[in-house]
Amino acid sequence: MHDMLCGKLLGDGCLTKQLHRKPRFQFTHSKKDTGWSLFCFEQLSPFISLNPPKYIKIIDARTIAGFTESYIVQSRTSDELCELYETWYPHSKKALPFSYIENHFTDKTLAWWYQDDGHLKIQNGIPRKIILSTDSFSLAENHFLIEFLNKRYGLHFSIDAQNRLLLYDQYQIMYFLKLVDPYIHESMNRKRRLSSDVKKIANRTTIYLPSDIQINKPTLEINEQYKKLTLLLSLSDNHIHFFQQTKTLLNSKAITKPYQIQIENRFKENLMRLRNQSGLNISQLTTLCFKLNM
């Protein structure tokens, strides 16, 4: 239960408390996300006494339609929610409980948070950026979240001018999307990485390799390394292990040297598949072929 609640309270969920009353848990989603709202209600109902989603229409002259439509889910009161309120609202104001998050955060938590407050920016069929709308949190709280996500998953988020968390690295974006994918509701498919056209690989290309990889006959030696691509593909099926195993081998700050080579046709399909699945470019995949102990 607490993994879902943690994701919800990091996202669109909150605890409300009137004077001399016990707190209630609630969350609100727009009408277009009715499926997600109903799903969250169904998942949390066995643990918290919740009222079914209630339709709300609010007049808002700032919108094109002149109004907004949403569904709100609100709980009844309980002693457990009193404890949760003390944890998340220690001074009657929301403050991220670091220990609670560290103890209850799971992949499902990440997925629920992402579905509530996350955005996937795609350009030309390629995921370019993940945004987590954390602008309501303090700068210190966002720095905690950045450090936590780095320690837990090896993800390197940054903070933008709007106090949101951003993830730009292609490899890490693909890893993030694979982590959350098992928990993405069908109504939130827009936040999934859908299949896209696979860009072909040119016959001749430039490969950039770290300077610690010494080669004398680039085309011959690199194509020899590409014999490992089949095994690399099988390893990439387990995305968690693959990311953890390879992230330390890909140093983005390493000095590189360019090599003009001709890629043999028999290796192009596996290179395209790996590039499409992992988010790694051809130079990075080539580096892995050299560096992975297979």
* 200-253 confidence digits (pLDDT tens): 888 899 999 998 898 999 999 999 999 999 988 888 888 777 887 787 777 667
> Is residue 270 domain-shared with residue 253, that is, in the same domain?
yes
Q: What is the CATH number of the domain that holds 37?
A: 3.10.28.10
pLDDT of residue 197: 59
pLDDT of residue 60: 75
> Is residue 190 domain-shared with residue 209, that is, in the same domain?
no
CA dihedral over 71, 8, 10, 125, signed as positive or negative: negative
pTM over 0.75: yes
Whole-angstrom CA distances from 177 to 137, 174, 189, 212, 249 are 23, 5, 11, 32, 21
> Is residue 13 domain-shared with residue 82, that is, in the same domain?
yes
> Is residue 111 domain-shared with residue 138, that is, in the same domain?
yes
Residue 97 in any domain: the answer is no
Q: Which two tokens stand for residue 266?
A: 């028999």
Domain boundary among 148, 172, 197: 197
Residue 214 in any domain: the answer is yes
Among 59-73, 118-132, 267-281, where is mean pLDDT lowest? Answer: 59-73
Domain boundary among 197, 216, 232: 197
> Is residue 190 domain-shared with residue 208, that is, in the same domain?
no
pLDDT of residue 42: 95
Element (H, E) at 70: strand 67-74
Mean pLDDT on 37-42: 94
- Dump pLDDT digits (tens) for 241-273: 788 778 777 766 778 899 999 999 999 999 998
Residue 96 in any domain: the answer is no
Element (H, E) at 44: helix 34-44
- State the residue range of the domain holding 243: 204-291
Mean pLDDT value across the chain: 89
Closest CA to 279 of 145, 120, 138: 120
Q: Can you name the residues that pair with 262 across neighbouring β-strands?
A: 204
- Dump pLDDT digits (tens) for 44-102: 999 998 999 998 888 777 777 777 888 999 999 888 899 999 999 998 899 999 999 99
Indicate the pLDDT class of residue 185, thresholds 50, 70 and 90: very high
Domain boundary among 91, 124, 155: 91
- Provide the number of structural domains found in the chain: 3
Q: What angle do CA 211, 237, 146 make, to 5 degrees?
A: 65
- Dump pLDDT digits (tens) for 2-34: 999 999 999 999 999 888 888 999 999 988 889
Strands (E), 77-143: 118-123, 126-132
> Is residue 111 domain-shared with residue 156, that is, in the same domain?
yes
> Is residue 209 domain-shared with residue 188, that is, in the same domain?
no
Mean pLDDT on 189-194: 85
- Are 246 and 240 spatial neighbours (Cβ–Cβ below 8 Å)? no
